[in-house]
Amino acid sequence: MAKHYKELLVWQKAMELVTEVYRAAATFPKHEEFGLASQLKRAAVSIPSNIAEGQGRLSVGEFKQFLGHARGSLFEVETQLLIAKDLDLIGKDDSERLGERIAEVGRLLNGLIRSLRTGH
């Protein structure tokens, strides 16, 4: 197990996702600044934040719980990006790139959760 959350590949990839989400949200119209853009950014930030907080906890059970929160936030980001795409707030290229990032973070999160369940 990593000694520090910054060593976790899933945390690193989640941080990259946050940066990309912020860049995409910056292109939203001004009237969405406190609506969908704000919700999207908050949910994205929650992913690496929950990974970090969970890794800092004292038990594997607590870590798994926070990874579950991170996974929930990832699905929230995915849903909000689908809404943004449906509203033509982001283009197809950005949508596809962000979708690939989300899938990658999801695979890494699921792998880490699985490894904690099996004790490896």
Q: What percent of the chain clears pLDDT 90, i.e. is strictly above it?
A: 88
Domains in the chain (CATH in brackets) are: 6-118 (1.20.1440.60)
Q: What is the mean pLDDT of the chain?
A: 94
**Tens digits of residue pLDDT in 21-80:** 999 999 999 998 889 999 999 999 999 999 999 999 989 999 999 999 999 999 999 999
Amino acid at 120: H
The C-alpha atoms of residue 82 and residue 89 are separated, in whole angstroms, by 10
Contact (Cβ atoms closer than 8 angstroms) between residue 8 and residue 2: yes
pTM over 0.85: yes
Q: What percent of the chain clears pLDDT 70, i.e. is strictly above it?
A: 97
